[in-house]
Amino acid sequence: MPSLQLRLLAVFPLMCVLSAPGQVSAVYSPEGKPLSQRVVAYWIEASLNTEAKTLDATESIEYRNSSSQPITSIPFHLYLNAFRPQSTFSMESLRDSFGISYGKEEQGSIDIKSISIEGYGDVSKSTRFVAPDDGNQEDHTVMEVALPKPVAPGEAIRLQLAFHDKFPLAVARSGYKRDFIMGAQWFPKVGVLWHEQWNCHQYHVNTEFFADFGTYNVNLTLPQRYIVGASGIQTGEQINSDGTSTLSFRGEDIHDFAWAASPHFQVADDVFVNSLGPVKLHALVLATNADKRKRYLATLKQSMQKFDEWYGPYPYKQITLIDPEPDSEIGGMEYPTLITAGADWWEPSWYHDGMDQTTIHEFGHQYWYGMVASNEFEEPWLDEGINSYSENKVMGSLFGQNTSHVNGRTFYSSDEEAQRLSYLRHPDEDPIVRAGWKFANSFSYGSIVYGKTAIALTTLQSVLGEPMLRQVLRTYFLRYRFQHPTGSDFFATVEEVTGRKDLEPYLVQAFQGTDVLDYSVDSLTSDPVDWWKNGRAGGPYHTSVMLRRKGTFLFPVKLEVAFADGSKQQAVWGGEDRWARFSWDTPSRAKYARVDPDRNVLLDTNFFNNSYSLQPDSTARFKLTNYWVFAQQLLAQWLSFLV
Amino acid sequence: MTIELQTSAVSPLRAKRPLPNLLLQGFQLGLRNWPCVVWTYAANLLFALLAGIPLASGLSPYLDHSLAATHIAGTIDISYLRELAIQVGDTGFVPMVMQTAVWLNMLQVLVLFVLFAGSVFVYVSSEPPRFSVLLRGGIAYFWRFVRAAIVAGFAASLILGLLMGIRGLLLDHARDVYVERQIFVYSAISAGLILLVALLVRLWWDLVEVYIVRNAMDGERSIVPALLPALRLLFRHFFRTFGSFLVAGLAGVFAFALCLLLWRLLPAHQVWIACLLAQLGLFLLLAGRFWQRGIEATLVMSADPPRIATDAMEPEEGAELVEEEVPTTGSTAYLAGLSEPTLRDLVLKLRTEPLAKPEVLSGPPEISEPDPVPAAPKPAGVSEPSVTRLDQHETKFPLGGLTPDKEPGRTEPVEKPKAPDNLDKTPHSEKKPLP
């Protein structure tokens, strides 16, 4: 039997022919033109061993130098090597107490069996592992190949690789659980030549991925009983005589390719007609969650409709939703044209914090990450933070502004508030714009990148108005889709669309600083003007309110004072000093004073000191005390039952 | 009528007598001694209120003057509640509240332990259910109950530990195959089975506690003689006992759940009515526990009463053979044909005839003629009651429901009890022995 390399060399030209124009397109493109630069093209022939949880594959890559400088090396991401105990990802997981034991099953790897360059033959000896972020020589998630000859600008180079994957018992994104297998970050992926330099970071616990747009042609061979969902669209299926089948997929203008396989999937399809044409909604739902199919599809469709209306069209012909195996740590992840959601068996209709929120958030990543392909390593907030803001908007639109998370009889909560609470847990440890792997820990990363960014944008919305901010995001999307924008590009878009130059102080404090915003009503007094006269009743009253800026974040806030006769007085304070006093002489006594009465400044870290009422009301206190006393009594009765 | 005192070496004669309706009798026993549950509930509430004081005072600066509190006073916005937790979590207030609650809970459990012990004592000994009696009885039996708790804890650890280990192994294998609802059902069912076993252990332990008090009436201070009889009794009347135990417990739980449901249906701002419903539910939950205690006391005292009751029976009256056997002490001769009216005769006799002054015995006690009642050993510290324990026992435990009013009248005096030849134990004619 010919060697793997020879077979690949024989197949490669055929693959190129098959990918020539005329083949079914996976995108809606005017006149069939590529939507992106298509820097790289992948052809992958893979064979999955579902028993051993391994995969053997050959990969052909055509890479074009789109920079103005010649390139002398090419780095590859070998993400599966993150699941080796010695990797940087493992060490950071240990640091953040993720509880991964890295037993034999939990270890994964990707081994490059061979690598050659067309015209130069085997270049295995020219490869080495590099650790550009932390110098950890045991971290093998980045492999650099020195080129025998530089590739000039505009020229292309063709490489052939053979590799062997060992999938781990899933602890994060990739791997298997029972007989479900998620092929994510499973192939050697070229880094990004960005700003004239290679950008290829190690896999960290707090980072995701960054790659160039291109095309993918993948043939996956696996047992026939498995049902597969993948990026792009399926272009063919071949039944083999050995009980396997080979499924063919093609993806265009995408920067990653993922797939999921399970014998327990049930297929549920639907169609959404957006502004470009019909999009196939392809949901693969586990048999145990069969009752969730309609809800998945409905939520996905509604999300597509909102994003299409607010930001722009979804140009791909299909979106695949994977319902992952429970307890697999694979749910809640995004890949171009494929998302993994996740549902619990008990998810009542009034609870949206599970499958609904996950589906909306992951679909949103098709825009912020999938098409606007920012660098998730260096500026994670550009996709996660902006997407979290979009998620708040979509969920509020679909499920009610205040009840978008939970809409129960005796309690409720909103997605927006949940983001704010996430932020409140670690409000001042790291700035939003920090690189992902440089955050203090995973908790700060989650709080700041997701929560603070979403809330900072919501607070910005209170200044600009929701329609204006939506226009900003729409412009940002349409301008930078299929590109790699930076934070500067985003801020420039904000200034350009709003026409405002005075936003810089806010943007700098909110995104680049760690300042905390907290305004409080320190005191409120409302006494008769001639207070020295005893036995006097009635007005006029002299009302005095003292505001304090407890944090270091300067932001103009509105003050509202309400009086017993129903009248109100308002004022605005810029927060320049540490405190300010406002006074009025009015016919009636004051009832309360409140900062930010419209609750626009969600960056304020303490809502409980934003107001002061002269007449105390202990209802809330007694209510909570009642719960506490009840809990203590119940606990004591249980303990006394035990002893 | 004779009284024979038997040594513990004499094999117990099995006399058959019907068990009363455990649920009903247990309920009546609990109801008659209602101050027990009231005092226990009061202690439960008092400690919880004490634990609530630091929380109430600590929340005042955050909530009383803040308009944000309206998001908690009405329908709760969980976000505000969580933010409040974040705000107070940054202060030293939360650790103080938690520490106070922990210490108060530990103290409360100790107090409840004493009160439960005292309640068992009241149920078994027919003492009046006064708070002082509860405390006295609870403290008197405290260390015995602690030792019983240690033994029961050890047994429970072994049994439940083994079961939970097996459950864990089985579920680990099951999780490789089943997911979601299926694995939840398997988890719930297996947890339910283990819970039933745990309740069974608890029931046995409760019976041990009743036996400890019952045996103390016979002068036994060790807890060991309580262990096996409790187990035997439990399995002899297993379904009836366990069923009654479960019914009483579930009744308390259902009543509690009903109160919670009503609470949930209330408008959000009705804080005081919510408080009342919560307290009612907790009281009913506690009452269910006392019902269980009543059932256990009824069972033990009916099926295996202390020797003082059975030793006083005369065999001459023929009695119907009853369905169930219960072990009792006493000679074959006079225990055959035992019947309740005979006991009533003894009671009447004891009421009308003067009692001999009890003496402390250093060896086998001697019964001196012509004392109508043999002198009983008087342990140190025993105080003479104004009413005999037997008298109280007769009124509290009708032994199947018969009362003196319903008996056929007997006018002839009963014979004096015959002095036993060999005594290791004397019948109790005095008040309960306190340690």
Residue A431 has pLDDT above 90, yes or no: yes
Residue A594 has pLDDT above 60, yes or no: yes
Token pair of A386 as six digits? 């902006």
B 183-222 residues inside an 8 A Cβ radius of A: 184, 202
Token pair of A390 as six digits? 């979009």
What's the whole-number mean pLDDT along residues A57-70? 96
Left (φ > 0), alpha (ψ -120 to 50) or beta: where does B116 sit?
alpha
Helix (H, G, I), strand (E, B), or coil: what is residue B153?
helix
Cis bond upstream, residue A587 (ω within 30): no
Query: What's the confidence (pLDDT) of residue B346?
Result: 54
Inter-chain contact B282–A634, Cβ cutoff 8 Å? yes
Token pair of A367 as six digits? 């825009």
Query: What's the confidence (pLDDT) of residue A122?
Result: 95
Closest by CA to A576, choosing from A546, A548, A600, is A548
pLDDT tens for A548-579 read 999 999 999 999 999 999 999 999 999 999 99
Q: Is A620 in the B-facing interface, judged by CB distances under 8 Å? A: yes
pLDDT tens for A227-266 read 999 999 999 999 999 999 999 999 999 999 999 999 999 9
Count other Cβ atoms within 10 Å, centred on residue B233. 22
- Check the CA dihedral B374-B380-B385-B390 and report its sign: negative
pLDDT tens for A525-554 read 999 988 777 665 667 999 999 999 999 999
> pLDDT-derived band of residue B19, with 50, 70 and 90 as boundaries?
confident
pLDDT tens for B28-84 read 999 999 999 999 999 999 999 999 999 999 999 999 999 999 999 988 888 999 999
Query: What's the confidence (pLDDT) of residue B306?
Result: 78
* Contacts A594 to B, Cβ<8 Å: 67
Q: How far is A363 from chain B (nearest CA, A)?
A: 24
> pLDDT-derived band of residue B318, with 50, 70 and 90 as boundaries?
very low
- Residue A389 contacts by C-beta under 8 Å, 6 or more apart in sequence? A453, A454, A457, A458
Cα–Cα distance between B88 and B82 in angstroms, integer?
10
Query: What's the confidence (pLDDT) of residue A412?
Result: 85
Query: What's the confidence (pLDDT) of residue A23?
Result: 62
Q: How far is A295 from chain B (nearest CA, A)?
A: 17
> pLDDT-derived band of residue A323, with 50, 70 and 90 as boundaries?
very high
Q: Work out the widest C-alpha separation in chain B, in whole angstroms.
A: 86
A and B: number of Cβ contacts within 8 A: 175
* Contacts A447 to B, Cβ<8 Å: none
Residue B326 has pLDDT above 70, yes or no: no
Q: Is A568 in the B-facing interface, judged by CB distances under 8 Å? A: no
* Contacts A286 to B, Cβ<8 Å: 179
Count other Cβ atoms within 10 Å, centred on residue B319. 18
Query: What's the confidence (pLDDT) of residue B351?
Result: 53
Q: How far is B146 from chain A (nearest CA, A)?
A: 9
DSSP string, B304-369: S--HHHHHT--SSS-----S-EEEE-S-HHHHTT--HHHHHHHHHHHHHSPPPPPB--SSS--PPT
Query: What's the confidence (pLDDT) of residue A643?
Result: 75
B 250-289 residues inside an 8 A Cβ radius of A: 264, 268-269, 271-272, 274-275, 278, 282, 285-286, 289
Token pair of B304 as six digits? 């295996």
* Contacts A443 to B, Cβ<8 Å: none
Backbone angles phi, psi at A570, to 5 degrees: -130, 155
Closest CB to A608: pick one of B44, B45, B66: B66
Query: What's the confidence (pLDDT) of residue B393?
Result: 44
Query: What's the confidence (pLDDT) of residue A366?
Result: 98
Inter-chain contact A621–B59, Cβ cutoff 8 Å? yes
pTM of the model: 0.80
> E strands of A477-602, at which residues?
519-528, 541-549, 557-563, 568-573, 579-586, 590-595
For B215-235, what is the HEC assignment? HHHCCCCCCHHHHHHHHHHHH
> pLDDT-derived band of residue B422, with 50, 70 and 90 as boundaries?
very low
Q: Is A266 in the B-facing interface, judged by CB distances under 8 Å? A: no
- Write down the mean pLDDT value for chain A: 92
Closest CB to A636: pick one of B64, B112, B176: B112
Query: What's the confidence (pLDDT) of residue B121?
Result: 93
Q: What is the DSSP letter of A141?
A: S
Task: Give the DSSP H/E element, type plus range, for residue A253.
Answer: strand A244-254
Closest CB to A345: pick one of B76, B184, B282: B184
pLDDT tens for A433-482 read 999 999 999 999 999 999 999 999 999 999 999 999 999 999 999 999 99
Residue A300 has pLDDT above 80, yes or no: yes
Query: What's the confidence (pLDDT) of residue A102?
Result: 82
Q: How far is A417 from chain B (nearest CA, A)?
A: 6
Query: What's the confidence (pLDDT) of residue A101?
Result: 80
Query: What's the confidence (pLDDT) of residue B74?
Result: 86
Mutation target among A347, A561, A637, A639 for the B interface, most CBs of B within 10 A: A637
Place of tokens 């270091």: A552
> pLDDT-derived band of residue A410, with 50, 70 and 90 as boundaries?
confident
Closest by CA to B195, choosing from B147, B229, B156, is B156
Closest CB to B63: pick one of A418, A620, A628: A620
- Identity (one letter) of the amino acid at A221? T
Residue B323 has pLDDT above 70, yes or no: no
Distance (Å) of CA B139 to CA A52, A90, B142, B398: 66, 57, 5, 28
Q: Of A25-29, A145-149, B71-75, B400-404, which range is least confident? A: B400-404
Count other Cβ atoms within 10 Å, centred on residue B368. 11
